[in-house]
């Protein structure tokens, strides 16, 4: 393959600020990719997912197909704010490429394109292939998960092209996740003159943290993290308000149900007399679990790896992706088909240049075997 051309194309994608909330940047990345696919003769469609996010992009080799042999998924957005590209645009050394979204997941999006560019004409005639690129994965795919789910339900297999892990592993299981916001409403009072007349929302929040932490079950991999707290207006005022954001992770969807029910009950009861608590679930992804259909797809990938000389190993990871949604629908789903990378969501993000070409060959071979 022409690695220089691949790198030049990646630079076009990385050097655009496209955090989920930078809608114009997400749209620009969508335009660049749509143009690349159109030049290959694939049908491209922009998908309006609402004014809160950028567009999705749907690409297919068979525009009139009602079902797909495989759905390839990647996301257009990153976690980084506007101005990041100016501070640290894409760069590289002898072994790695750096930059915002370089491995999470601009390189994965580009590898899909390059894998399909090299497909045999007979395979493209035989197979019905769809590529879905969504604009809001980094904030939980709130606006796009229904669209992705509808596409997945029309597909026999789903391959998500997030980066392979740092050791080269692909992903066959992911923790589910849920995000919550708790709002506490108390009664303000002068902290010196009339403290007894107040009902501190901050104190209620403090009690809630202990109760929420107690819901974790480390042996089953169920964790809760109260990661953001705020409240009160001044130190000499009994706080009338407070807020907390909670992150829940779980391997088993039954644990999600248990904790969700417990959180609702705790908030209904309240954490302190005179302070009311409301809870809102901000986002949710079910766990991506292995089943018999997933194992059959894993065997195909392993055979493809043998044929291409690419070592295949598997890893279950704590972070979620769009694979969580499609797997929960019962569609055989695997993840991690992008180049090898690490340092996601940080300035240290990188991808291994040597992994680009083998991972393109692997993805192409897997699709051809479906």
Q: In this structure, are residues 245 and 179 in contact, taking their beta carbons and an 8 Å threshold?
A: yes
Rg (CA), the chain: 23
As a 3-state breakdown, the chain gives helix, strand, coil percent values, each rounded to 5, of 40, 30, 35
Nearest residue to 67 via CA among 145, 148, 156: 156
107: burial class by Cβ within 10 Å (0-12, 13-18, 19+)?
Answer: buried
Catalytic residue among 9, 17, 77, 138: 77
Pairing, β 158-160 against β 70-75: parallel
Q: Which residues neighbour 235 within 8 Å (Cβ) at sequence distance 6 or greater?
A: 191
Is 120 marked active-site?
no
Q: Is the CB of residue 224 less than 8 Å from the CB of residue 213?
A: yes
For helices 23-39 and 3-14, angle between their N-to-C axes, nearest 10 degrees: 150
Q: Which residues are bridge partners to 217 per DSSP?
A: 222
Query: Nearest CA to 297 among 336, 248, 269?
Result: 336
Distance CA 362, CA 305 (A): 6
Is 77 part of the annotated catalytic residue set? yes
Decide: 13 and 32 in contact? Cβ < 8 Å.
Answer: yes
| Residues 6+ positions from 358 with CB-CB distance below 8 Å | 308, 309, 310
Catalytic annotation, pick one of 9, 17, 136, 137? 137
Residue 41 CA to residue 184 CA, distance in Å, equals 55
| Stretch (H or E) spanning 29 | helix 23-39
Which residue in 227, 52, 68 sits closest to 136, CA to CA?
52
Integer Cα distance of 258 and 348 in angstroms: 37
Q: Which residues are catalytic?
A: 77, 137
């Amino acid at each position: 393959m022409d690695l220089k051309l691949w790198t030049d194309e990646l630079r076009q994608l990385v050097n655009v600020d496209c955090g989920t909330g930078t809608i114009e940047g997400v749209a620009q990345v969508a335009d660049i990719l749509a143009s690349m696919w159109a030049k290959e003769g694939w049908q491209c469609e922009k998908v309006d997912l609402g004014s809160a996010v950028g567009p999705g992009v749907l690409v297919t080799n068979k525009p009139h197909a009602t079902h797909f042999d495989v759905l390839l998924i990647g996301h257009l957005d990153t976690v980084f704010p506007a101005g990041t590209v100016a501070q640290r645009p894409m760069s590289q050394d002898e072994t790695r490429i750096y930059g915002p979204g370089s491995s999470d997941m601009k390189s994965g999006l580009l590898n899909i394109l390059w894998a399909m560019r090299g497909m045999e004409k007979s395979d493209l005639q035989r197979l019905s292939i769809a590529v879905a690129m969504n604009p809001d994965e980094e904030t939980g795919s709130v606006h796009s998960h229904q669209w992705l789910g509808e596409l997945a339900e029309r597909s026999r297999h789903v391959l998500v092209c997030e980066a392979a892990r740092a050791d080269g592993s692909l992903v066959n299981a992911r923790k589910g996740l849920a995000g919550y916001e708790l709002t506490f409403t108390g009664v303000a009072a002068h902290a010196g003159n009339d403290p007894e007349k107040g009902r501190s929302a901050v104190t209620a929040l403090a009690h809630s943290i202990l109760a929420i932490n107690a819901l974790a079950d480390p042996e089953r991999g169920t964790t809760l993290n109260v990661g953001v707290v705020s409240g009160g207006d001044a130190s000499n005022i009994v706080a009338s308000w407070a807020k907390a954001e909670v992150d829940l992770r779980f391997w088993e969807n039954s644990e999600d149900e248990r904790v969700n029910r417990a959180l609702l009950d705790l908030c209904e009861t309240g954490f302190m007399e005179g302070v009311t608590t409301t809870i809102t679930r901000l986002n949710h992804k079910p766990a991506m679990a292995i089943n018999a259909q997933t194992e059959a797809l894993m065997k195909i990938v392993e055979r493809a790896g043998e044929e291409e000389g690419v070592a295949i190993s598997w890893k279950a990871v704590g972070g979620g992706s769009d694979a969580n949604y499609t797997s929960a629908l019962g569609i055989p789903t695997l993840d991690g088909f992008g180049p090898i990378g690490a340092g996601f969501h940080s300035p240290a993000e990188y991808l291994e240049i040597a992994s680009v070409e083998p991972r393109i060959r692997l993805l192409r071979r897997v699709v051809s075997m479906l």
